[in-house]
Amino acid sequence: MPYPVEQNEKFAAYAHPERLVSTEWLAAAIESGALQDGKLVVVESDEDVLLYETGHIPGAVKIDWHTDLNDEVTRDYVDGAAFATLAAAKGISRDSTVVIYGDKSNWWAAYALWVFTLFGHEDVRLLDGGRDKWIAEGRALTTDKPAITPGEYPVVERNDAPIRAFKEDVLAHFGKPLIDVRSTEEYTGQRTHMPAYPEEGALRGGHIPTAASIPWARAAAEDGTYRSRAELEALYLGEAGLTEGDDVVAYCRIGERSSHTWFALKYLLGFDSVRNYDGSWTEWGNAVRVPIAKGTERGTAPAHR
Amino acid sequence: MNTSALPTALSQIVDDFQAVTEPERLQLLLEFSRELPDPPERLADHPELMEQVVECQSPLFLTIETEKSDGGPADSVRLFFKAPPEAPTTRGFAGVLHEGLDGLSPAEILAVPDDMPELLGLTRAITPLRMRGMTAMLGRIKRKVAALPQQS
């Protein structure tokens, strides 16, 4: 890890404290000129494609989850060449420390961090509390575009298998824990999209049988920071019933909200094997002959075929 | 579809978007988000008088009112929108519709093609999913206009 890791009591309780930084830490790092040489790069990633332009952390660059990280044609992420071009254009080198933050309790920031991890970017961290906490604390914002010195980024092929699950992987996963991070209404099948969000065309409602329902936002405190280790354990070990060493798959609607949960399970609670099923409900709820459970009960795993 | 079928103000806005590059279109949308007027206090303080367009990614409320124009035969339609500053894309769409449609007659608004938002050339830059919010907003305005009492 090229840039010093933040030490504080809350983070120290997590399995991988080096994956989070606080607003105080980032403000001090920027103040000290850390962004000058490309060793530390701050990235904003939001749901709203124009939010960065209304004002961002001084020196931060923007990466849009949809236009920058998704392939335009295939439903997939960009390839190694496109990612290398993107990273270099944002001033990111392979050995840069990248701190990502965004709106809505870092939901899109966690998604961007997960995509960086598909490419094996070693040192990528989340700003605990994200954009809202930074603003709530009255910290500096600017609309000035940062002067970017292009980084040097090699073409690295994505390594999906360790942290990304496909539909076939989920079918083979039955018997091991699944976490559904969508709203209760989506879980029970009452609706197929988020409350107050656009209908994205899932033909069936409900959840993947045996999945525990832990809506993603329960991992976040009121100020958008992650809850403490003890609180997260109560949620995922207690309520969801995970045990140490479990192989876990998390999913939502397109894989964005579940990235937030993936981060909590992987880096804060230290589960080694956690995969994000990015096909999520927009694939499962449209797929032919996959098993679906409706209502509040988790349901039972189908017999293996 | 070409812009000649659109009301003058809206046609001008579409021309402005089409005349510039994709990054500049986003900048233009941001300017519209800044120019969107707040609803008058009588509406701002009574959100129940406005309708939420749930297809938008961020909370967006809108309503319409009619005004008799002096001596003219047709009512003109006034549009009011409410969206938070942290939703600039949604505000930008509302700003385009406000500047392009506010004050027109019901017939002029109803004649705007439903797929007019596609003319802005933003679909690639901001994704089809995000464009749906604007199409839904225009649809809601047209449905509300169509439901106005018949004019004498």
pLDDT at A194 over 80: no
- Which secondary structure element, helix H or strand E, spans residue A237, and what is its range? none
pLDDT at A228 over 70: yes
Q: Report the pLDDT averaged over residues A80-107.
A: 96
Asked if A217 and A105 touch (Cβ cutoff 8 Å), the reply is: yes
Amino acid code (one letter) for A226: Y
pLDDT at B100 over 50: yes
A295: left (phi over 0), alpha (psi -120 to 50) or beta: left
| E-state strands within chain A | 20-21, 40-44, 61-62, 97-101, 124-127, 178-180, 212-213, 247-251, 273-277
Confidence of residue A17 (pLDDT cuts 50, 70, 90): very high
Q: Which of A42, A249, A250, A252 is catalytic?
A: A252
Residue A242 confidence (pLDDT): 98
Of residues B127 and A209, more confidence is placed in A209
Residues of A in contact with B126 (CB under 8 A): 49, 66-67
DSSP for B85-115 reads TT-HHHHHHHHHHHHHHTT--HHHHHTS-TT
Using a pLDDT cut of 70, give the percent of chain B over it.
Answer: 88
Residues of B in contact with A200 (CB under 8 A): 129
Q: Report the pLDDT averaged over residues B128-140.
A: 86
| CB pair distance less than 8 Å for A54 and B58 | no
Distance from the B83 Cα atom to the nearest Cα atom in chain A, whole angstroms: 13
ipTM over 0.90: no
- Which pLDDT tens digit goes with each residue over A240-284? 999 999 999 999 988 999 999 999 999 999 999 999 999 999 999
Nearest CA in chain B to A132: B86
| CB pair distance less than 8 Å for B89 and A66 | no
Residue given tokens 């060493």 in the structure block = A245
- Which pLDDT tens digit goes with each residue over A32-81? 999 998 899 999 999 888 999 999 999 999 999 888 999 989 999 999 99
Of residues B13 and B69, more confidence is placed in B13
Q: How far apart are CA A174 and CA A152, in angstroms?
A: 42
Of residues B149 and A276, more confidence is placed in A276
Residue B44 confidence (pLDDT): 78
pLDDT at A233 over 80: yes
Distance from the A62 Cα atom to the nearest Cα atom in chain B, whole angstroms: 13
pLDDT at A121 over 80: yes
Distance from the B47 Cα atom to the nearest Cα atom in chain A, whole angstroms: 16
Q: Report the pLDDT averaged over residues B61-88.
A: 84
| CB pair distance less than 8 Å for A198 and B54 | yes
| CB pair distance less than 8 Å for B88 and A50 | yes
Asked if A238 and A212 touch (Cβ cutoff 8 Å), the reply is: no
Q: Report the pLDDT averaged over residues B112-119.
A: 93
pLDDT at B150 over 70: no
Would an 8 Å CB–CB cutoff place B29 in contact with chain A? yes
Nearest CA in chain B to A193: B55
Size of interface A-B (CB pairs under 8 A): 60
> DSSP letter at A100?
E
Residue A200 confidence (pLDDT): 58
pLDDT at A210 over 80: yes
Q: What does pLDDT average to over chain A?
A: 94
Q: Report the pLDDT averaged over residues B75-95.
A: 92
Please count the CA atoms within 13 angstroms of the CA of A153 that sit on its side-chain side: 29
A178-180 sheet: strands from edge to edge: A212-213, A178-180, A247-251, A273-277
| The pair of three-digit structure tokens given for residue A44, joined into one six-digit string | 């904003």
Nearest CA in chain B to A70: B127
| CB pair distance less than 8 Å for A66 and B129 | yes
Q: Select from A47, A53, A72 the Cβ nearest to the Cβ of B57.
A: A47
Other beta carbons within 10 Å of A21: 26
Residue A260 confidence (pLDDT): 97
Would an 8 Å CB–CB cutoff place B51 in contact with chain A? no
Q: How far apart are CA A248 and CA A81, in angstroms?
A: 30
Residue B59 confidence (pLDDT): 76
Q: Report the pLDDT averaged over residues A177-190.
A: 93
Q: Please list the residues that pair with A226 across neighbouring strands.
A: A220
| The pair of three-digit structure tokens given for residue A9, joined into one six-digit string | 């009591």
Other beta carbons within 10 Å of B149: 7
Using a pLDDT cut of 90, give the percent of chain B over it.
Answer: 57
- C-alpha B60 chain-centroid distance: 11
Residue A190 confidence (pLDDT): 87
Nearest residue to A117 via CA among A149, A86, A150, A83: A83
Residue A170 confidence (pLDDT): 98
Residue B69 confidence (pLDDT): 64
Mutation for B interface: A54, A68, A135, most B CBs within 10 A = A54
Confidence of residue B152 (pLDDT cuts 50, 70, 90): very low
Q: Select from A51, A67, A103 the Cβ nearest to the Cβ of B127.
A: A67
pTM: 0.90
Looking at A94-108, A134-148, B71-85, B91-105, which range is the least confident one? B71-85
**A252 counts as catalytic:** yes
Would an 8 Å CB–CB cutoff place B105 in contact with chain A? no
| CB pair distance less than 8 Å for A196 and B59 | yes
Nearest residue to A23 via CA among A129, A156, A167: A129
Looking at A20-24, A115-119, B73-77, B145-149, which range is the least confident one? B73-77
Asked if A52 and B26 touch (Cβ cutoff 8 Å), the reply is: no
Using a pLDDT cut of 90, give the percent of chain A over it.
Answer: 86
DSSP for chain B reads --GGGS-HHHHHHHHHHHTS-HHHHHHHHHHHHHHPPPPPHHHHT-GGGSEE-TTSSS--EEEEEEEE-TT-SSEEEEEEEE--TT-HHHHHHHHHHHHHHTT--HHHHHTS-TTGGGGGS-HHHH-HHHHHHHHHHHHHHHHHHHTSPPP-
Q: What does pLDDT average to over chain B?
A: 87
Q: Report the pLDDT averaged over residues B25-44.
A: 92
Residue given tokens 């109560």 in the structure block = A234
Asked if A274 and A280 touch (Cβ cutoff 8 Å), the reply is: no
